[in-house]
Structure 1
Amino acid sequence: MGLEVSLWRAVAVFRFAALAYAVVLLATGRGEYLRPWLGLGVVVVMLIWSVVAAVAYAEPARRRWPLLSADMLVTLGCLFASSWVVDPARLSQGAATLPMAWVAGAVLAWAIAGGRRWGLFAALLVGAVDLTLRGRVTPTTLNGTVLLLLAGFSIGYLVRLAGEAELRLQHAAELEAATRERERLARGIHDSVLQVLALVQRRGAEIGGEAAELGRLAGEQEEVLRSLVGNAPHAPTSDSGVDLKALLSTQTSNRVTVSGPATPVWLPEQIADEIAAATASALDNVQRHGGPGARAWVLLEEEDSEVIVTVRDDGAGIAPGRLAEAAAAGRLGVAQSIEGRVRDLGGATVITSAPGEGTEVEMRVPR
């Protein structure tokens, strides 16, 4: 986990910072210590172990009981050595131990490795040894133990929350990738297989006889496919330059007029392909639902920050609520093949229509 790695590094830095503070105390108060030379030896042990711990904990495979136990033993040993360096009478009155805050490094390590329970246990263990040294409960012992308990609990709880958050994020990323791929397949099916099946169903019903039965079967399979493809997003990616104006011009026919700027409109290939596919779906809807003789006009506009493709027709129009009903029934021609494509390019689609007044589909896509 990214946060856990950062926490281990922070513990390593904390050990060296606390060690530096212990060295300063030893140097400035050496006259008050019973055995300054022994205190210097303890500080050397703390320095060596700080280096060893920083290197050992950097490898995830080593963050197990042997290393954690050794860390705690070295920490308690250095703490217990205070009884031979600091005057016991001064310790009983609340004087600082030789390692001072350095002992918190082991508590933090246990909390990161095992969570809040391990952190609390390590804090109580260190607090018990500190109490043994002093012989009685002092404000210093009480405050130090409470701070260790809070640190162990907080860090352990933070690590658990971070682990759960990373698992959720990983699951969400996997789910998003799966649904994007499903959407890509769904759109491909809609633009090819579903339209062919719909055509077979319609033509079979017109011809009659055995063709009608074939059309009925095609209609059943169309419904099955529509229920399978469902809803899913899609995200295109490509950096190749393609002239969107040239792509849209291929849609020109005796019933479709395409207009655009005098110069090419360059876009990454996959984005241009998606816009062209959404435009083709809008024109297909005009042909299928606009009524006999319906004409369409495609207008491509280029602005500094976006491109705009507008598809207008003079067909039968769309009744209020019809698009929502079609999406609920699994007919994804508008919801996914048009709106979905544009939405996943970071754009927006505005559909304006009324019965008998034609339809206007405006697609805005950021450059």
Structure 2
Amino acid sequence: MAGRERVMRMSVEQPLWRALAGYRVLTMVYATGLFASAHDQFARPWVAVSYYALLGVWTLATLRKVSGAAHCTKRFLAVDLTIALTGILLTPLADTAARIEDGAPTLPSIWTAGAVLAFAIKGGWRWAAFASTLVAAANLVERSGVPTRDTVHAVLLVWIASIAIGYVVEVARASERTLARALEIEAATRERERLARDIHDGVLQVLAMVQRRGTVLGGEAAALGRMAGEQEVALRTLVSGGLVPPSRVSEDSARGAAVRAVDEPEDASGPVDLRALLAPYAGARVGFAEPGAPVTLAEPAARELAAAVGAALDNVRAHAGADARAWILVEDEPGQVIVTVRDDGPGIPEGRLAQAEGEGRLGVALSIRGRLRDLGGSAELISVPGQGTEVELKVPKADSAPRGKAERR
């Protein structure tokens, strides 16, 4: 199967940039409205009018600059903060000393906070601390070094809020990078598990069969079988150590398990009858019990479920002996399909699965449980020594397409 899994990335910053763009426009209108309501009290209203004209043009012309971190350059931030500081320092020139002493707002008013917040979102709390400190210094100069209580409160609010927002942005960025990396690892792990299943179901079992048959035939065939056995061990080690995390490696169908092929339906465009995929497994020593009505599943899910059943039967042939019998039972329930594979073999000795995990065998972990996990289902293995083994495979009918495949391009 070609293609890589697509990892969906999200941006935790984008909502902040959109909010900042709206804040800048609203505060520009607010500052202009404050002046309009008290313009007759200004000592030099033409200074304020000139500044507000510049502020309005700048705010509207730079909306794209605050649409994202890529557009918000250091040069823009420097000019933006300069305009805010200029408005603060021009206030004594435009307004009367009496109004300033009474606590009248500066020309840019709360628009200044937008310039500081742009620093916070772009560069984090250190940039925010730098910008807010310059704003605090400009306010002290504007108040002739004797700020009012309201001025102190406003400066502290901008300083604390901008640093807090800058810190939150840094944490959010780190979390976003961690999440993106985790999604990439998960996607890569799913692809590796799929490759490991394919190798296990095909190459490893063929090599094991060649080794066994070569030993029986002897001569040159024995040498070929020995080489096949060496390659099987090397490939198994590579798969378990390089392709699959060791913690996920578990029981594998042992050497000598026969390879069983399931014919894929010609029409893979819609649901298929699971019974048609499982029927070829029936034989002299494999019973097959099915419902009277079709058991429909999405084609990828049905094929994966049938392959898991095949892997379970391979384990029966490999571990339960040539004389063991097996039964396949299909149950079609309203919300899920249950397939049970039961045998009358000796069962699995206690601790055998843990031992197989250490040996890097993949049958149960990948060929069975891995497939069911990708389908959103489950695989339960119950084995009592002397009483056989039962594998119960459950697949939900809703959204039964394999997760890895659904996310691939």
Q: Normalising to structure 2: TM-score of the pair?
A: 0.83
Question: In 2 relative to 1, CA 12–332 (structure 1 residues): closer, same or farther, beyond 3 Å?
Answer: same
Aligned to 2:260: none
The number of residues matched between the two structures is 363
**1:181 and 2:211 are equivalent in the alignment:** no
Instruction: Quickly say closer, same or farther: Cα 1:104–1:346, change in 2 above 3 A.
Output: same
Contact 2:237/2:360, CA 8 A, preserved across alignment: yes
Residue type matched to 2:335 in 1? S
**Match of residue 204 from structure 1:** 214
Q: Structure 1 residue 186: deviation in Å?
A: 0.8
What is residue 271 of structure 1 aligned with on the other side?
301
CA deviation profile, 1:95-142 (whole Å, cap 9, x unmatched): 322221111111111122222111111111111111101012332332
Which residue of 2 is the match for residue 120 of structure 1? 129
5+ long unaligned stretches in structure 1: none
How big is the shift at 1:346?
A: 0.9
How much does 1:207 deviate? 4.0
Look up the match of 1:300: 330
Alpha carbons 2:193, 2:370 under 8 Å: kept: no
> What residue in structure 2 maps to residue 46 of structure 1?
55
Larger CA deviation: 18-27 vs 44-53: 18-27
Equivalent residue number for residue 400 of structure 2 = none
CA–CA distance in 2 between the matches of 1:150 and 1:23? 26
Establish whether residue 158 from structure 1 lines up as the match of residue 185 from structure 2: no
Residues 1:14 and 2:23 are matched in the alignment: yes
Deviation at 1:37, TM superposition (A): 4.4
Is residue 314–residue 358 contact of structure 1 (8 Å, CA) maintained in 2? yes
Please report how far the alpha carbon of residue 210 of structure 1 lies from its aligned counterpart in structure 2 after TM superposition: 4.6
Asked if 1:191 is matched to 2:191, the reply is no
Gaps of 5+ in 2: 1-9, 249-267, 398-409
Q: Is residue 2:73 matched to residue 1:64? A: yes
Counterparts of 2:71 and 2:181 in 1: how far apart (Å)?
Answer: 27
8 Å Cα contact 2:316-2:343 kept in structure 1: yes
CA distance in 2, matches of 1:59, 1:25: 30
SS at match of 1:352: strand
Q: Is the CA contact 1:94–1:134 (under 8 Å) kept in the aligned structure 2? A: no
- Relative to 1, partners in 2 of residues 1:268 and 1:318: Cα closer, same or farther, differing over 3 Å? same
Distance 2:335 2:133 in 1: 61
* Residues 209-288 of structure 1 aligned to structure 2 (within 5 Å): 209-230=219-240, 231=244, 240-288=270-318
The CA distance in 1 between the partners of 2:385 and 2:38, in whole Å, is 93
d(CA) in 2 for partners of 1:182, 1:6: 35
Q: Percent identity?
A: 48
The structure-2 alpha-carbon separation of the partners of 1:155 and 1:304, relative to structure 1 and needing over 3 Å to count, comes to same
TM-score (norm 1): 0.92
Distance in 2 separating the partners of 1:96 and 1:203: 93
Match of 2:257?
none
**Of 95, 98, 102, which residue of structure 1 is paired with 2:111?**
102
Moved more, 98-107 or 54-63: 54-63
Which 10-residue stretch deviates more, 224-233 or 319-328?
A: 224-233
CA apart distance, 1:20 = 3.0
Give distance in 1, aligned partners of 2:269 and 2:91: 66
Q: Is the 1:295–1:313 Cα contact (8 Å) retained in structure 2?
A: yes
Tell me: higher relative CO, structure 1 or 2? Use CA pairs within 8 A at least 6 residues apart.
Answer: 2
The letter of the residue matching 1:5 is: Q
1:336 is paired with a residue whose SS is: helix
Residues 22 and 239 of structure 1: CA distance in aligned 2, closer, same or farther (over 3 Å): farther
User: Hey, what's the Cα distance between the residues in 2 that align with 1:36 and 1:321?
Assistant: 89
CA distance in 2, matches of 1:32, 1:86: 8
Q: Which has a greater percent of helix?
A: 1
Per mean C-alpha deviation after superposition, the further-off stretch among 210-219 and 163-172 is 210-219
Q: Which position in structure 2 is the counterpart of 1:326?
A: 356
Q: Is the 8 A contact 1:300 1:308 kept in 2?
A: yes
Distance 1:56 1:201 in 2: 68
Secondary structure, aligned partner of 2:361: coil
